[in-house]
Amino acid sequence: MSLAALLAASPALFTGTCLVLGLVVGSFLNVVIHRLPVMLERQWRGQYADLYGEAPTLPAAAPERYNLV
C-alpha cells in the first residue's frame, strides 16, 4: 500500500501527519521570521561597537540571551 493510499484510507492519520508537518514548518518559520533578524541586529550592533570603539547598545526590552541554542 502506498503512502498516498494509506493517508486517503485513514483520515486520523492524514490529520496527524498534517498537524506534525504544520508544527515543523511553523517552528522553522518562527526562527527565520522572528528570531534570526533579532540575532543579526545584535551581532551587527556588536560589530559596529567594536569597529568604532563604543559600548554595544541593546533595546531596553531585549532579554540578555537570545539565540538558537
H-state helical runs in 1-69: 3-9, 11-30, 36-52
- CB count, 10 Å around CB of 42? 16
Predicted structure pTM score:
0.56
Residue 32: what residue type?
Answer: V
pLDDT band at residue 13 using 50, 70 and 90 as cut-offs: very high
pLDDT band at residue 17 using 50, 70 and 90 as cut-offs: very high
% of the chain surpassing 70 pLDDT: 80
